[in-house]
Amino acid sequence: MKVDDAAGVEAGKEMEKDSESNKPSSAQNNPDARSVQRTKSFTFRAPQEQFTIQDFQLGKIYGVGSYSKVVRARKKDTGIVYALKIMDKKFITKENKTSLVKLERVVLDQLDHPGIVRLFFTFQDSQSLYMALESCEGGELFDQITRKGRLTEDEARFYAAEVVNALEYIHNIGLIHRDIKPENLLLTAEGHIKVADFGSVKPTKDGQVSFLPTLPSDDKACTFVGTAAYVPPEVLNSSPATFGNDIWALGCTLYQMLSGSSPFKDASEWLIFQKIIARDLIFPDYFSEEAKDLTDKLLHTDPAQRLGAGPQGYVALKIHPFFSGVDWDNIRSQTPPKLALETGATEGHELYHAHDGNGSTRSSEASGPVPRLASIDSFDSRWQQFLDPGECVVMISTLKKLQKLSSRKMQLILTDKPKLICVDPAKTQKVNTYGMDNQNYLSIVVTSPTNFKITTPKKVMCFEDAKQRAWQWKEAIEGLQKQ
């Protein structure tokens, strides 16, 4: 066995060795029967099963992170669809992420709220750890903002109220999410909000969540986590995490829902941080006075003074005039806004994956051998003119092409030739085309979940993907080069 493989196996053992039993317990029927202390034993509500990846038909990729990806997965024997989070054991071990993965798994297991994605079960193999999560067929709130341009105040009020409802629960049991943003707010098929991605969660000392005795506490609570545009100023100044961190992110999210962009948007993370520290906040004229006032109070520079994090807690937040008419006692029974559907998305556009005998991943499509549209922001006749007859799109997205002092939007199209096409979306005009038959001519380097560099013998191009799919671009490009 190779050293890396051995490390991966050990990571898997470490994930579950603290559990005396992984069978479902009475806690599944009585979620309130929890200890508020660290316990010597722990029975997972969501058990570790003996499933294999071959038990699932894998569909489109929902998202890609630094050491994981989330894919749509249908259990073959039951037909139930899950969002399957697949985590790389080698990376987890190498980057010392084991405690974070364990923390997320333990926290998700105990969360019980209609506004939070549910963990159903886990399993593992020699390469990966798997978490089967509730599948949210309505996609990300980010997608709704993108497709609609911006939301109406009625739509934003509905979504914000459901986020507040979930955050109140999260904070009441003593957890700080630390990565609230539109990409982590998922929608059910009906259109209700589900808070997802607890990979950055921070438990408080007096919380109501049980922990494994060997799970280390996060003494470095001021460590930078989250996404640049939603990070509060106190975190940039190395202050400890508080509930106010999530309230600030809620304010950024509300602003983005109403305007179509984040309040502290700029060309680089450094410039974004300068705007956050200076609280360089400008409200569009079409914001109502109630929306301006609420956003202003959520984005208070003092975390203890933010509405919802102050002395009156969530009572003060929920009685704000912006939420006038919201039935807080029956919020999940209200009719959600109508979802805007993805342009050009069809069943034939899903990218499927299967593991071969060596544990590697190959791609195929249900309707043919060519993978198409692993991720679509928009695909219509405007881009068809840049393709050759019979050429198929593998990935397409509107990205930022970053330059020294500026940035510009660029439609990046990856085809099965394989070929990479850069198009100016404003002029619908081709800028460059790059053949990519081998990695010696064209290579890709990921620098963060949002940023990647494409290098050719003549130039280096830097791109930013707001939906954090840098690793997905790398996998798609390198996968085509190996074919």
Instruction: Give domain limits for the chain.
Output: 53-134, 139-204+225-331, 381-481
Enter the DSSP assignment of 331. G
Quick one: 77 exposed, middle or buried, by C-beta within 10 A (0-12, 13-18, 19+)?
Answer: exposed
pLDDT at 115: 97
Q: What percent of the chain is helix, strand and coil (3-state, nearest 5)? A: 30, 25, 45
pLDDT at 271: 83
Catalytic positions:
179
Identity (one letter) of the amino acid at 307?
L
Cβ atoms 453, 462 nearer than 8 A: yes
pLDDT at 79: 96
Class level of CATH domain 139-204+225-331? mainly alpha
Fold adopted by 381-481: PH-domain like (2.30.29)
Extended strands (E) in 54-200? 56-64, 68-75, 81-88, 119-124, 128-134, 139-140, 175-176, 185-187, 193-195
CATH 3.30.200.20 matches 53-134: yes
Which of 20, 46, 51 lies closest to 125 in space, CA to CA? 51
Q: Which sign, positive or negative, has the C-alpha torsion 131, 134, 138, 142?
A: negative
Enumerate residues 6+ apart whose C-beta is below 8 A from 62: 70, 71, 72, 83
Enumerate residues 6+ apart whose C-beta is below 8 A from 176: 170, 201, 202, 203, 204, 241, 242, 243, 245, 246
C-alpha to C-alpha distances, 72 to 58, 61, 133, 179, 325, nearest whole angstrom: 6, 6, 10, 22, 36
Q: What's the CA dihedral at 69, 343, 145, 143 to 10 degrees? A: -10
Instruction: Copy the structure tokens of residue 49.
Output: 């099963």
pLDDT in tens, the chain (483 residues): 333 444 444 555 555 554 434 443 333 333 333 333 344 456 788 899 999 999 999 988 887 766 788 889 999 999 999 999 999 898 888 878 888 898 899 999 999 999 999 999 999 999 999 999 999 999 999 999 999 999 999 999 999 999 999 999 999 999 999 999 999 999 999 999 999 999 889 998 888 877 655 555 444 444 556 678 899 999 988 888 999 999 999 999 999 999 999 999 876 778 888 999 999 999 999 999 999 999 999 999 999 999 999 888 999 999 999 999 999 999 999 999 999 987 544 333 333 333 333 333 333 333 333 334 433 344 455 677 888 877 777 788 889 998 867 788 888 988 888 889 999 888 778 778 888 766 667 888 888 888 899 988 778 889 998 888 888 888 888 888 877
Domain 53-134 matches domain 381-481 at the CATH topology level: no
Half-sphere CA count of 193, side-chain side, radius 13 A = 26
Q: Hey, what long-range contacts does 97-105 have (CB within 8 A, 24 or more apart)?
A: 97/67, 98/11, 98/14, 98/15, 99/215, 99/216, 100/199, 101/15, 101/129, 101/199, 102/14, 102/15, 102/18, 102/212, 102/215, 103/201, 103/203, 103/215, 103/218, 104/198, 104/199, 104/201, 105/15, 105/131
pLDDT at 475: 84
State how far the Cα of 342 lies from the Cα of 361, in Å rounded to an integer: 27
| Other Cβ atoms within 10 Å of 202 Cβ, number | 22
Instruction: Copy the structure tokens of residue 226.
Output: 């989250």
State how far the Cα of 56 lies from the Cα of 368, in Å rounded to an integer: 19
